[in-house]
Structure 1
Amino acid sequence: MEQLVADLLTRREVCAAREWLECHDAGTLALQRALAEIPAPTGAEELRGALVAERFEELNLADVRRDGAGNVLGRLGPNGGVGVVLAAHLDTVFGPETDLTVRDAGARLVGPGIGDNARGLAALLAVAGACRAAGIEPPLPLTFAATVGEEGRGDLRGVKHLFEDPAFRPHAFMAVDGAGLERVVHRALGSRRIRATFRGPGGHSWAAFGVANPAHAVGIATSQIHDIPLPPRPRASASVVRLGGGSGLNTIPQEAWLELDLRSEHEAALESLYGSVTQVLGRALDLVNRRRSAGTTPLTLQLDSLGRRPSGATDERHPLVRAALAATRALGATPALAAASTDANVAISRGVPGIALGAGGRGGDAHLPSEWYENVNGPAGILRALVVALAVAEA
């Protein structure tokens, strides 16, 4: 694979693509800024998707379309099959109330979503543009996908929709997500997000004291979740991420709830953790109910799924991973194998080789209004994605 990647980097058309990426770097940055300033909260990605679809059309990609979920797709290369998928998600974690203005701060662009994932989308379009300009004709189709619903409660909705089609069976899948040139994400960090709601009769905090209190159950559960022993390997985490309930300072709430984010790279560990958490919630329910005044109504517990992201891994010996490692080294960076939650999770869980790569540059403060991007080795990150796609198509 090292030799294939080295050969690719010396081919006339790949050298031409590299030159195009470097010459058009300012344009890629301008597009990245423009994409970041288009609102695209999860579930409302239409405006940003429209710009991507327009650019796909301008690049003369084949079969440009928006599917039933809102994903924007286009193809380069031979007809027939899906080939190698390059995907970048359209949505951001920022709501419609957020000021999306991108500002210059020295060498940095600063603004919500400038890296995650305006950078990935700009890189996706730059790969297609470089291929067109250099006359690259891949041996397998390159399917470009701008996906919806990757963030948070989107629960990878867009890419899950793609894989619902039996005909959607890629040769390989690559998510282009955020900045960076070193990480090669080949392990899918799975998660289960749940909301636990305790309900009871409520009442005046003095006159009704002794009825089962949902807020007490939430507090007990939160404390005991903190005490769940977690294995060092495979690593797992259990986080209470939101709490709520109650209507006033002198009222026992009729309802209180907590939301949890459970994570692991291994499905069995994730299922075991889910079992431990549900046991804790059941014990909190029983404890509060046993302590309530005689004859009063017991609490109830309702569990609702807020999302489920599959885990798994693409073997580091697979040609896709080896190509990513070789391309990273060939472009002067030190590769680091990693785990993350990306669109590639779904591909990996369906038995399709999948990875996620950054799109060059450096970034920080992801998911914060102060998110920033520095264009250090920006073109190299985009070139890496292109070379990996071509290498795995030929391997």
Structure 2
Amino acid sequence: MKDFQLPSQILSYIENAESEILSLLKELAIIPAPSNNEDLRAKFCLDKFIEYGGKNAYIDEAKNVIFPINCENADDITVFCAHTDVVFPDTTPLPLFEDDEYLHCPGIGDDTTCLALLMLATKIAMQYNFTPKKGILIVANSGEEGLGNLKGIKQIIKDFPAIKRVYPFDGQYNAVVTKCVGSHRYSIDIQTEGGHSFGHFGNLSSIAVMSDFIYTLHQCSLPKKEGTKTTFNVGTVEGGTSVNTIAQSATFTYEYRSDDMQCMKYMQDFFNKTVKNIQGKYPEAKINITLIGDRPCGGNVDKNELTKMIDNAIFVCEKYSGISCKKTSGSTDCNIPMSLGIPAICLGSFIGSGAHTREEKVLKSSLITGLKITTHFLLSHFNN
């Protein structure tokens, strides 16, 4: 890949593509796409892939938009993907505005920009008649965020057993995700007798049980293993009826994360022990635990192949951006293939800020660089 050079006519095309990039990005960014409800954005992407020459593109049962190139009977397939869903629940057009430097829109960085640039890189590959020797699978995939639970990439891996490597585009081009952060996410529902705050004073309150539960979870001493990171969080709490009612029901959500399998096991054991202790302490309470998210961290992969992929990604990002590109950990679409022994790394294609906030923005001057990175990466694999 380091020997590959983008042809001069393609570089010239990209250098003059700012208006095309901005036009596509603005169209795509306002389309609502909450996890598990990506239908509108998927239809838009499918229409574009067909327009670009992907007559065999289709939407699968997981709402992935699949554009297979030379994949029939292939024994070696490389996946390039960017996710369609955003963290925001909006079902009406997302608010977008532009100033001299930035495009502002919820979800525009995560992951709309990377998706738009992957689509345009695909257009360039088709326009200049690049034909891969091996299978190439270009995917606008669903379900990367939150309770999407990586359903899109799971379906892709299931449907294409010849996949040998996976490249999600997700994030900025100053970092490459090389380690997978796994997570377990739970909803904990607590039911108690409750009652009137004066007349039934002394009855067990579900909020009191929940408070003790949360306090105990926060007493966890995190595993200390060099080169790893482990975290936990209580994200939401709900419960009670009124100020003068002893709460009958309360619910909270809890997660722990780590980029190490042993540390994940440590956190799972601590959580299970805490559940058992709280149930023993409050036998009259009904406590229901529901696993609402399960993301594995990395498994055993070919380290030489993974190292080669990482080095190539950093080389390409630094070649076009002129800035340092670091290695980092993250929870991305890499988690599923890596857990199954398939090498995967995640690279980005823009500079911006405010991910997962409504103040999210993307630096417009970074977009041509991002398209160069994406196109180089894609076409170099066509060339292999």
- Amino acid paired to 1:172: R
Aligned partner of 1:295 in structure 2 is: none
1:156 deviation in Å? Answer: 0.7
3-state SS of paired residue (1:192): strand
Please tell me whether the aligned partners of residues 91 and 149 of structure 1 are also in contact (alpha carbons under 8 angstroms).
yes
2:128 matches 1:134: yes
Are residues 44 and 17 of structure 1, via their aligned partners in 2, closer, same or farther at CA, if it must alter by over 3 Å? same
Following the alignment from structure 2 to structure 1, what is the Cα–Cα distance between the partners of residues 365 and 180?
27
The one-letter amino acid of 1:339's match is S
Return the TM-score normalized by structure 1. 0.89
- TM score, norm. by length of structure 2: 0.92
**Helix, strand or coil for the counterpart of 1:85?**
strand
Change in Cα spacing, 1:78 to 1:222, as seen in structure 2 (3 Å) is closer
- The C-alpha deviation readout for 1:199-258, integer Å capped at 9, x for no partner, is 111111222222222211111111121110002433211111111111111111111121
Corresponding position of 1:8: 4
Cα offset for 1:195? 1.0
Is it true that 1:303 corresponds to 2:289 in the alignment? yes
* RMSD of equivalent CA atoms: 2.1
Q: Counterpart of 1:319?
A: 308
> Residue in 2 aligned with 1:352?
342
Equivalent-residue separation in structure 2 for 1:77 and 1:151 (angstroms)? 29
Q: Which structure 2 residues correspond to residues 149-168 of structure 1 after superposition, within 5 A?
A: 149-165=143-159, 167-168=160-161
> Structure 1 238/78 Cα, relative in aligned 2: closer, same or farther at 3 Å?
closer
Instruction: Give the corresponding residue for 1:279.
Output: 273
Q: Report the Cα distance in structure 2 between the residues aligned to 1:85 and 1:321, rounded to whole angstroms.
A: 15
Among 59, 65, 83, the alignment partner of 2:58 is: 65
Matched, 1:89 2:83: yes
Residue of structure 2 equivalent to 1:293: none
In the TM superposition, what is the alpha-carbon distance from 1:320 to its structure 2 partner? 1.5
- Using the alignment, how far apart are the partners of 1:263 and 1:389 within structure 2? 31
Would you say the 8 A contact 2:31–2:93 is kept in 1?
no
CA gap of 1:168–1:28, structure 2 versus 1, over 3 A, is farther
Q: Does the CA contact (< 8 Å) of 1:172 and 1:392 recur in 2?
A: no
Residue matched to 1:370: 359
Residue 97 of structure 1: how far off its partner (Å): 5.4
1:177 — aligned with what?
Answer: 170
8 A Cα contact 2:38 2:85, kept in partner: yes
State the match for 1:56 in structure 2. 49
CA gap 1:73/1:138 in 2 versus in 1, 3 angstroms: same
d(CA) in 2 for partners of 1:111, 1:389:
27
CA-to-aligned-CA distance 1:50-109 (integer Å, 9 cap, x gap)? 110011101112521111111111123564336211111111111235661210123111
Partner residue of 2:327 out of 322, 331, 337: 337
Is the 1:312–1:349 contact (alpha carbons within 8 Å) kept by the matching residues of 2?
yes
Contact 2:29 2:96 in 1 (8 A): yes
Residues 84 and 393 in structure 1, CA contact (< 8 A), matched pair in contact too:
no
TM-fit CA distance, 1:30: 1.5
Number of residue pairs the alignment of both structures matches: 377
* 266-275 vs 382-391, greater mean Cα deviation: 382-391
Deviations 1:94-144 (A, max 9, x none): 123566121012311111111112102101111101212333223222211
| 1:265 corresponds to which of 238, 259, 263 | 259
> Is contact 1:169-1:352 (8 Å) kept?
no
Identify which range, 223-232 or 306-315, moves more after superposition: 306-315
Q: Unpaired runs of 5+ in structure 1?
A: 290-297
- Distance in 2 (CA, whole Å) between partners of 1:58 and 1:132 is 10
Are the equivalent residues in 1 in contact too, given 2:102–2:364 (CA < 8 A)? yes
Q: Which runs of 5+ in 2 are unaligned?
A: none
Q: Percent identical across equivalent pairs? A: 25
Tell me the residue number matched to 2:36.
Answer: 43
Residues 377 and 134 (structure 1 numbering): CA distance in 2 closer, same or farther, change over 3 Å?
Answer: farther
Query: 1:84 corresponds to which letter in structure 2?
Result: T
1:105 match: 99
After TM superposition, the structure 1 stretch with the greater mean CA deviation from structure 2, 374-383 or 308-317, is 308-317
Partner-residue secondary structure (3-state), 1:171: strand
Distance in 2, matches of 1:248 and 1:339, equals 43
Distance 1:70 1:245 in 2: 34
